[in-house]
Amino acid sequence: MNRSYALVALSLFIALIMALMPLPFSIEPFRPDWVLLVLMYWSIALPHRVNIGWAWCTGLIMDLATGSPLGVNSLTYSICLYITTSNFQKIRNFSIWQQAVLIGLFLALYHLLQFWLNHFLLDIYFNPRYLWPALVGMLCWPWVFLLLRKYRRHFRIR
């Protein structure tokens, strides 16, 4: 039990590092939100373990690490994880590419919510570029899914 929480936390830690790692300026706008992808995988695979509480805490860490107004990522992660956790049985039954499209929609919702909150807090204006990560995240989902499924089965995380 504690072991599986530790393994989930380890995967999230790696996702956090990947989310914070520097990238060349030209591909930076396309970086998918790794942390949210990993969180969504766990909420579909182990909804009784990883759900809104994890999303909120991880979101807070993300807020602190990226210097956005505190609470913005917590709120948006929690809302996304609410959707995936409450529909985990439906999502599990889709084929992997259908899942990817759904996840892409959730990611778009996440980025729009984030933009909207930041619009009120920081006076920024909408730029269609802000939605690139949702598309890239959608294309990354199958690989994230397969990799994490292998990870989960290998370490028998239940």
Partner 1 sequence: MNLLFGRTISLQLRLTVAVVLSVLLILGDRYTSGGTLVRTSLNTLVSPLLYVANVPYEVFSLGAKSLDTRDRLFQENEALRKKQLLQSEQLQQYQFLLRENQQLRALLGASSRQQRARLIAEVLSVRSSRYSHQVVVNRGAIDGVLEGQPVIDEMGIVGQLTQVGSTTSRVLLMTDTTHATPVRILRNDVRTVVEGTGKINLVQLQHVPHSLDIRLGDILVTSGLGGTFPEGYPVAVVTEIDRDEGLPFSKVYAEPVAQLDRIRLLVILGKVASKEPDA
The residues of the shown chain that bind partner 1, judged by CB under 8 A, are: 16-17, 19-23, 25, 28-29, 31, 47-48, 51-53, 55-56, 59-61, 64-72, 74-75, 78-79, 82, 85-86, 114-115, 117-118, 121-125, 130
Q: At 61, list the tokens.
A: 């860490």
Specify whether the CB–CB gap between 37 and 141 falls below 8 A: yes
Decide whether 16 or 142 has the Cβ nearer to partner 1: 16
* Sign of the alpha-carbon torsion through 131, 39, 44, 83: negative
Specify whether the CB–CB gap between 141 and 104 falls below 8 A: yes
Closest contact distance (angstroms) between CB of 94 and partner 1 is 19
Closest contact distance (angstroms) between CB of 97 and partner 1 is 26
Question: What span, in angstroms and rounded, lies between the C-alpha atoms of 1 and 70?
Answer: 31
Closest contact distance (angstroms) between CB of 122 and partner 1 is 6
